[in-house]
Amino acid sequence: MAMTGHRVGLLSGALAMAFVGSSAAVSPLLTAYPVLTGQAWRYAAAALLLLGYLWLRRVPWVQVGRSDWLRLVVLAATGLAAFNVCLLQAARHTDPPVLGAIVGAAPLVLAITGPLLAGRRPSLLVATSAVIVVVGVGTVLGGGHFSLPGVLWSLGALAGECLFSLLAVPLLPRLGPVRVSAYTCALASVMLALTALLVERGDVVTVPTGVELLSLAFLAVFVTAVAFALWYAAVGSLGVDRAGLLAGLVPVAAALIAAGIGTTDLSLQVLFGAVLVGAGVSLGMVPSRRQPDGGPTGPVDGGRSASRSAQVEQVGGLP
Range of the domain at 62: 2-307
What pLDDT shows up at residue 69?
96
pTM equals 0.84
Residues 6+ apart with CB under 8 A from 10: 234, 238, 246, 285
In a domain, 90, yes or no: yes
201 pLDDT higher than 80: yes
8 pLDDT higher than 70: yes
What pLDDT shows up at residue 25?
78
Closest CA to 140 of 55, 247, 244: 247
* Residue 97 DSSP one-character state: H
In a domain, 312, yes or no: no
Burial class (CB in 10 A: 0-12, 13-18, 19+), 262: exposed
Angle at 258 (CA atoms; ends 6, 255), nearest 5 degrees? 50
In a domain, 253, yes or no: yes
What pLDDT shows up at residue 296?
42
Percentage above 90 pLDDT, the chain: 53
Q: How confident is the model at residue 224 (pLDDT cuts 50, 70, 90)?
A: very high
Q: What is the largest CA-CA distance in the chain?
A: 58
Q: What are phi and psi of 78, to 5 degrees?
A: -95, -50
Residues 6+ apart with CB under 8 A from 238: 6, 9, 10, 13, 285, 293, 295
In a domain, 76, yes or no: yes
In a domain, 35, yes or no: yes
In a domain, 262, yes or no: yes
Mean pLDDT of 132-144: 82
In this structure, of 45-49, 73-77, 116-120, 250-254, the range with the lowest mean pLDDT score is: 250-254
pLDDT digits (tens, 9 = 90+) for 278-308: 899 988 888 665 444 444 443 333 333 333 3
312 pLDDT higher than 70: no
In a domain, 216, yes or no: yes
In a domain, 165, yes or no: yes
Average pLDDT of the chain is 84
Q: How confident is the model at residue 318 (pLDDT cuts 50, 70, 90)?
A: low
Mean pLDDT of 265-280: 84
Ramachandran sector of residue 306 (left: φ over 0; alpha: ψ -120 to 50; beta: rest): beta
Domains: count for the chain: 1
What pLDDT shows up at residue 23?
83
